[in-house]
């Protein structure tokens, strides 16, 4: 079996695109390292199991889900902090978070629930630009 492809830097067709740049990842890692509180796996497991369709949950699942949530929140807070600085606000308010969600495509999935807007499709913007050019 040829394993040379496993160690290469080539993008594998089954790998998701990297959403965060290396610089952002390093900066976010510093923010993430400052987090002293964690989501308790037992609570995360209870939340996961509130869905009737989910049966047994492996022991690692709540830990991974909790850490993922911490990482997501660290990213949202960091981006909100940057937006607050741009808006010359001293606090991260609901309006600042709303602007963060609207400005950053990583948070598109929140637009419908938080901002009352439909998430933008990646092709929609291109189609609108083409229509404007015509």
What does the pLDDT look like over 2-11, one tens digit per residue?
444 433 444 4
Q: Which residues of the chain have pLDDT under 70?
A: 1-20, 117-134
- Domain ranges across the chain: 20-124
The pLDDT of residue 41 = 93
pTM of the predicted protein model: 0.64
CA quadruple 19, 103, 79, 105: dihedral, nearest 10? -20
The pLDDT of residue 112 = 85
CATH of domain 20-124: 1.10.20.10
The pLDDT of residue 40 = 92
Cα-Cα-Cα-Cα dihedral sign, residues 25, 104, 9, 4: positive
The pLDDT of residue 96 = 92
């Amino acid at each position: 079996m040829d394993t040379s492809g496993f160690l290469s830097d080539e993008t594998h067709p089954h790998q998701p695109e990297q959403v965060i740049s290396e610089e952002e990842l390093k900066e976010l890692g510093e923010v993430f390292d400052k987090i002293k509180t964690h989501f308790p796996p037992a609570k995360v497991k209870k939340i996961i199991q509130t869905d009737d369709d989910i049966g047994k949950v492996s022991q690692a699942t709540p830990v991974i889900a909790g850490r993922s949530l911490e990482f997501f929140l660290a990213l949202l807070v960091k981006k909100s902090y940057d937006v607050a600085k741009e808006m010359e606000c001293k606090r991260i308010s609901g309006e600042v978070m709303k602007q963060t969600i609207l400005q950053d495509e990583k948070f598109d999935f929140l637009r419908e629930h938080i901002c009352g807007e439909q998430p933008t499709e990646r092709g929609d913007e291109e189609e609108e630009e083409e229509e404007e050019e015509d």
